[in-house]
Amino acid sequence: MAVNNQAPTKSKKELAKELGVSRQSLYYQSKLLQKDLLLKSAIEKVMAKHKRYGHKRIALELKMNKKRIRRVMRLFGLKPQRQRRRPSKPQDRGQAPMTIPNVLKETVVDAPNIAWANDFTYLSYFGRFVYLATTEDLFTREIIGWEVSTRHDADLVIGSTVNALHHHLAPAISHSDQGSEYRSVRYQSTLLLAGIRPSMSAKASPWQNGRQESFYSEFKLELGHPEAYPTMGELIEAIALQIYYYNHDRIHTALKCPPAVFAARHQLAEKKPLTDDLNGSFFQKTAKNSKIAENKLTFQNTANQPSV
């Protein structure tokens, strides 16, 4: 015969008396906690898609008060991914400063195609490096040109600028740091040929090109580890999709909307086209002088390239 050794269950009245609370409080469930749990689930869904979103962007995405979002994120320990450190470029050390001034800091950027910012970064990929150069319109914050290569040379940065010029009018100013790629005669000649005035940050002053620096710090985190893509073609496709996501889907804090949406709204308000049919002779001359075709990575010649 089985013996029940468990203690008899206490009644709600006895339990409430033992705890020193009213019997009704034992049935109470916090409505705020239930709401917070539902909001936590919504925040996690946003963070799964937008890995770098903090409480301000999540509040914009969910159309809710940012203070409430911040409180719930703190309550449940929800944090965006941290930024990675930007690697240094030892090959640029010891070079004398360029005489090209930073004209950007004296320029009012109140429309598209007034000033572009340029920079490049590298991705560690199966024992080698893949380099990504980008060109950003400083008014719309769009990435309007980009180039990928296994070499960080003049062709890399020229390719990004030429890609932007194929779809947009030439800006008044093109800004960059004093990296050797941007200091090169061929890159400076490309700007001169397009009628663009060069602008450069002071030496060892990365904050003077801060928007591109900020873009790359978040871009790498949202892209994920490059080696998650087995072939070079898949990596380039992932880069293209990530840039599209940045331009069209990702809310920019300063703009309160994605850059492409902001650009479209401005174009509609101004009723001026952002693109134009440009003279193809410029691109023919640039491609011939820089030999971009030799180093340019395309889907056709990299899609089946094995990882090393």
Round to whole Å and give the CA distance between 21 and 99. 78
Q: Is residue 249 scored above 70 in pLDDT?
A: yes
- 152-197 pLDDT tens trace: 999 999 999 999 999 999 999 999 998 889 999 999 999 999 999 9
pLDDT at position 87: 44
Q: Is residue 126 scored above 80 in pLDDT?
A: yes
* Cα 299 → chain centroid: 22
Q: What fold characterizes domain 90-302? A: Nucleotidyltransferase; domain 5 (3.30.420)
Across the chain, mean pLDDT equals 81
For the chain, what percent of residues have pLDDT higher than 70? Answer: 75
pLDDT at position 191: 96
Q: Is residue 67 scored above 90 in pLDDT?
A: yes
- 13-50 pLDDT tens trace: 776 677 676 666 666 566 778 888 899 999 999 988 88
Round to whole Å and give the CA distance between 181 and 92. 10
* Cα 276 → chain centroid: 27
